[in-house]
Chains A and B, each alone.
Chain A
Amino acid sequence: MGRPVAIIGVGQTKHGRRFDVSYPELVKEAVDAVFEITGIDPGDIDGVVSGTMPSMMEGVALTHFYFADVLRSVGKPIMKTETCGSTGASLAITGYYWVASGMADLVLVVGSEKMNEGDSQATMTTVLEPFYQRYFIAGAPGIFSMQSQEWSVRFGIPEEKIRAAATKLTIDHHKDAFDNPYAHIKKELTEDEVNNARIITYPVRLWDVCPNSDGACAVIFASEDKVRQMDRKPAWIKGVGYSGEEYWFGDSDKVVWQSAIQASREAYKMAGITNPIEQLDVAEVYNPFTFQELLFYECFGFCDFGKACDETLKGTFARDGKLACDPSGGTLCTNPIGATGLIRVSEAALQVTGQAGDHQIPGAKLALAHAMGGVDQYNAVLILGSEL
């Protein structure tokens, strides 16, 4: 265990289709926001961590160098963390390590993506093994469809029930997004619209899938000493867990999904959580696909395996339910991938400091943030709390 570390401020851009600014200018919006919100002098930052999807998405290699000016990193150490979809969570963990180690007191952590500038699924293809696997996977939807399909058969969950639960999730999240000023897709959806939407990869339909978003998120991590010097509510990092699996899709079980289970249990252990559904107040689960969100509920121990659909339909994970999941609308409504995991962490920080605005879960004290990366290969979980 290192020193205590807290998030002392977060800045986000308005996420969406952002052809109104160049990529560095987009990153600048988030960075400027976090400095304005916290009042921290950029000169006092000890180091900068930046991350995006693989550079093939960006079309510019070494994006942390591309953004060096807007990150105000000239004359400072800068590093890049890149773990595909979990990049944002890895960024947060990197910032956490840096401060927890005692090597830095204030670290600026920035995740960003301009998905509309490149071709996201072509980039996903380059993430896949080139000799044997690249040919058969239709981007992320192909992988996630196979995973959820296997899950439904393994636990004998009727297709109709999964469809109903997924439909409820997407309707709720797109509605919740109206209360999040930064969210990309905000929409009143009907069951018919969702159930009859265009098939992407069966059984995944259009409204089960996240959008391509442009956006950035900037977070400042601070040591306890620095936190005490500032008149700001900190969101303490109570636990972190990060776990991976073999590279080859097909070598490990993606239903009883070890990396997701282990990452959450490591984070719970560090944070002293023994009963997540009772102890957590809010969870920002990485949910690029409705079906996968259901599976995550089970892997994180929010309910038993095979039961996520029933609990979802009962409202357990709704905003007014026992454990509010993705009250921000989540990844399903907003997915600038390199920023997405960090947005989960930021939303968790906003919740436990009572700053989430219209989508605040009243009295939230303990929150989970999560992201997943690679070809269903890595999972990262962070626990944030209002008390040290």
Chain B
Amino acid sequence: MSKDYNTLRHVVRLPHSYAAGPVWTRFYEGLKEEKIYGARCDKCSRIYVPARSFCPNCHENLDEWVEVSQEGEVVSWAYSSDREFFGMQVKPPFIIALIKLDNTDSNFLHFVGGVDFDKSAIEAGQRVRAVWNDEKKGHMMDIKYFEPIG
């Protein structure tokens, strides 16, 4: 449909400073040392990664920290070939994936990379391992992506 009427274009800009709090601060600090931390619930024994301050299942406070494996398997994934998403830092092509790190009980959301970006290149169950950026910022993007192994 053609535009018969005028429009007003503008950009809403809003600055934010999100408080990570003690638990996520510690998780981020771990990333700087190339460690991935989870927290274990005393009651249900689940290990959550990233570490959380409380168990969303039992509502127990979590204070048992565990360093978890940097390897795991792809649970599900999606491939973005050329569509840029406004506000997303990573440009396509990329693969986003839920990854179950070994011996943990929650799925970890990140990228799969180090592959030829052909959607047949990856399957659920694929073993992957974290690849770290050289420069660390204490941020989820300190992990560059997870690359297929084996």
Binding site for B on A (CB under 8 A): 18-23, 25, 28, 42, 56, 59, 69-70, 72, 74, 114, 116-119, 122-123, 126, 130-131
Chain A residue nearest to B59 in the complex (CB): A72
Contact present for A59 and B16 (CB under 8 Å): yes
Q: Nearest chain A CB to B84's CB is how many angstroms away?
A: 20
A20 close to B15 (CB less than 8 A): no
Which of B8, B19, B53 lies at the interface centre, i.e. has the most chain A CB atoms within 10 A of its CB? B19
Q: Which residue of A lies closest to B12 (CB)?
A: A126
Are A20 and B21 in contact, CB atoms less than 8 angstroms apart?
A: yes
Please, how many angstroms separate the alpha-carbon atoms of A105 and B19 in the complex? Answer: 35
Residues of A within 8 A of B19 (CB): 18-23, 114, 117
Q: A20-B21, A22-B53, A25-B54 are in contact. List 14 more A-B contacts (CB 8 A).
A: A18-B19, A19-B17, A20-B19, A21-B22, A22-B19, A22-B24, A59-B16, A59-B18, A114-B19, A116-B17, A117-B19, A119-B14, A122-B13, A122-B14
Pair A122/B8 contact, Cβ less than 8 Å: no
Report how far A208 CA is from B44 CA in the complex, Å.
51
Q: Please report B residues at the A interface, Cβ cutoff 8 Å.
A: 8, 10, 12-24, 53-54, 56, 59
Q: Nearest Cβ distance between residue B61 and chain A, in whole angstroms?
A: 10
* Closest CB in chain A relative to B8 CB, distance in Å: 6
Question: A interface, by DSSP: helix, strand, loop or mixed?
Answer: loop
Query: Cβ of A56: which chain B residues have Cβ within 8 Å of it?
Result: 12, 14
Nearest B-chain residue to A32, judged by Cβ? B59
A21 touches B21 (CB 8 A): yes
- A70-B54 contact given A126-B12, A130-B10, CB 8 Å threshold: yes
CA gap between A165 and B24 in the complex, in Å: 47
Query: Which residues of chain A are within 8 angstroms of B12 by Cβ–Cβ distance?
Result: 56, 126
Partner of A130, one of B8, B13, B16, B18: B8
A263 to chain B, nearest CB (A): 30
Q: In the complex, A74 Cα to B8 Cα: how many Å? A: 41
Question: A22-B21, A117-B19 are contacts. A28–B54 as well, Cβ < 8 Å?
Answer: yes
* Listed A/B pairs (24) with beta-carbon separation below 8 Å: A18-B19, A19-B19, A20-B19, A20-B21, A20-B22, A21-B19, A22-B18, A22-B19, A22-B20, A22-B24, A22-B53, A23-B19, A25-B23, A25-B54, A28-B54, A70-B54, A116-B17, A117-B16, A117-B18, A118-B15, A119-B16, A122-B13, A122-B15, A131-B8
Q: Please tell me if the beta carbons of A118 and B16 are within 8 angstroms of each other in the complex.
A: yes
